[in-house]
């Protein structure tokens, strides 16, 4: 049985600090058996971040919103990236960015600032997206038991360098519905399906920019956003297909 207190100690050992802006990708089952399930890990994360920190999780919905079903509802559209993210999305006080396929949920001091302008970008990872704002505010990414592969921030970096494989087909017209029954027409590009080997970044980032330890039973990584953007963009500028190739 893993307690919130033990998880808190693990998070601090990894380098999660009070006041951090933290984006968490996760495999909930890998963490181990906890006293109160998802509430235990969320409580530990929020305690580690403190009152001045901000906890973020992806709420990607690309499996549910597409050209055939182009309506995204801020509250009702589910995410498709794991149990912990979907549980977090539905908690009181959590805000969600308005984007049909790549929304982010957040709670804490900078939640509104991170999430309020996502619909202004015609792509998932543009300048107004939480992924870019995480870089600009010196945020961190926690890969909690899921390895280094499912790192959505890498798509925003691919947008920055103009990766030739990134987008698929024509622009799609979506309808974004918020909790006040207001609807925004959003026209944007959709990411393609392609090989992703983002774990290769481990060859290029070291402590303190990339750190590792167990959180509960989950092998976990903490990544400095600014360092990730700098190194990954440099690698892709040298070889646009670097992260498409097997190690």
Report the C-alpha gap between 135 and 139 in whole angstroms: 6
Q: What percent of the chain has pLDDT over 70?
A: 100
Q: What percent of the chain has pLDDT over 90?
A: 96
224 — pLDDT class (breaks 50, 70, 90): very high
How confident is the model at residue 50, as a pLDDT? 98
pLDDT tens for each residue of 143-169: 999 999 999 999 999 999 999 999 998
Total domains in the fold of the chain = 1
Owning domain of residue 99: 4-244
Average pLDDT over residues 29-46: 95
pLDDT tens for each residue of 183-194: 999 999 999 999
Average pLDDT over residues 77-98: 98
Helical H runs in the chain? 4-14, 38-49, 83-89, 111-115, 130-136, 153-161, 225-238
Closest by Cα among 55, 52, 57 to 18? 52
Does the pLDDT at position 179 exceed 90?
no
16 — pLDDT class (breaks 50, 70, 90): very high
Does the pLDDT at position 247 exceed 90?
no
DSSP type of residue 2: B
pTM more than 0.95: yes
Q: Is 4 exposed, middle or buried (0-12, 13-18, 19+ CB in 10 A)?
A: buried
Mean pLDDT (the chain, rounded):
97
Intra-chain end-to-end CA distance of the chain, in Å: 37
Does the pLDDT at position 138 exceed 90?
yes
Q: Is 196 exposed, middle or buried (0-12, 13-18, 19+ CB in 10 A)?
A: middle
215 — pLDDT class (breaks 50, 70, 90): very high
How confident is the model at residue 169, as a pLDDT? 86
């Amino acid at each position: 049985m893993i307690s919130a207190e033990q998880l808190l100690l693990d998070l601090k050992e990894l380098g999660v600090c009070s006041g951090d802006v933290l984006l968490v990708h996760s495999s909930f089952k890998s963490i181990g058996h906890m006293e109160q399930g998802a509430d235990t890990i969320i409580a530990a994360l929020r305690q580690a971040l403190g009152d001045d920190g901000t906890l973020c999780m992806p709420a990607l919905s690309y499996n549910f919103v597409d050209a055939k079903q182009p309506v995204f509802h801020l509250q009702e559209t589910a995410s498709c990236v794991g149990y912990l993210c979907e549980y977090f999305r539905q908690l009181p006080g959590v805000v969600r960015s308005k984007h049909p396929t790549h929304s982010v949920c957040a709670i804490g001091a900078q939640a509104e600032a991170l999430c309020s302008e996502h619909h202004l970008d015609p792509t998932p990872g543009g300048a107004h997206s939480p992924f870019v704002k995480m870089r600009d505010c010196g945020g961190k990414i926690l890969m909690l038991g899921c390895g280094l592969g499912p790192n959505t921030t890498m798509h925003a970096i691919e947008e920055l360098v103009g990766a030739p494989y990134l987008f698929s087909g024509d622009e799609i017209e979506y309808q974004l519905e918020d909790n006040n029954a207001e609807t925004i027409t959003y026209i944007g590009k959709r990411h393609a399906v392609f090989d992703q080997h983002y774990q290769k970044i481990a060859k290029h980032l070291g402590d303190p920019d990339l750190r590792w330890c167990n959180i509960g039973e989950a092998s976990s990584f903490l990544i400095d956003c600014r360092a990730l953007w700098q190194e990954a963009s440099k690698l892709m500028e040298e070889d646009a297909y670097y992260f498409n190739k097997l190690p």
